[in-house]
Each structure stands twice: as structure tokens, then as C-alpha cells.
Amino acid sequence: MKREIHYHWRVRELMARAGMKNSRDLVAPLRDRGITLSESQIYRIVGQEPDRIAFKVLVALCDIFGVEAGDLITYTATDARQSRDKAANSPADVPLLNAYRPVRARIVTDDD
């Protein structure tokens, strides 16, 4: 069975609790832990939910804020169920050639 996983990246919230006002405030603490990132890379880590992140960066963020990884990232997982009617009518299940077949024209004359 397929599962849908949604996560929430809580770096911004933890920064606010620690009194950090912008992403530049993370440059020095990360550098103290041996991680050198540009300000734009740190801005993306703070401002966006990352699709992937280096484990060293994740652990460094946990150390900076004094939290566990589960406090930094919260997630929910649900079953991705579809009813049979929805699954049969979804556009992804319709083959492209069948979806765009031309309709046969009927020529009608005035005599008919």
C-alpha cells in the first residue's frame, strides 16, 4: 500500500526561540562546528523545506538548538487510498491516444 509522507521543517521556529532573527545568525555557529556554507545556502536551509540535507548539517543544527532530530523535523504519514471510482476516472489512467481521438464526422445533405 502506498503511503503519503508530509513533513514540517522547524528551523525557523527554533531560530526564533533561540533569539536568531535571520539566517546570517547561523553562519558562525555552523562554522564553529566545522560546516562552512554560504549565506545563500543557509538562507535556503532556513527558508525552504529541504528535499535532502547533509547529515552533518542536520546534526549540527540539532546541536546548535539543543534538540533531537525529531524536534527539528515533524512528519505525518497516511495511507494513500483512492476509491475505485476515483482511480478509474483519473486522467493519469486514460491512455493518451484514447483521450484525444477525433470524432467521426457525419455528412448530412438537405435531401436526407
4 forms beta bridges with 78
CA distance 110 to 69: 78
- Average pLDDT rounded to a whole number, residues 1-19: 88
Give residue 105's pLDDT band: very low, low, confident or very high (50, 70, 90).
confident
Q: Percent of the chain having pLDDT more than 70?
A: 80
- Average pLDDT rounded to a whole number, residues 91-95: 59
- Confidence at residue 80, expressed as pLDDT on a 0 to 100 scale: 78
Regarding pTM above 0.85, the answer is no
DSSP state of 104: P
Mind listing the domains of the chain with CATH numbers? Answer: 3-79 (1.10.260.40)
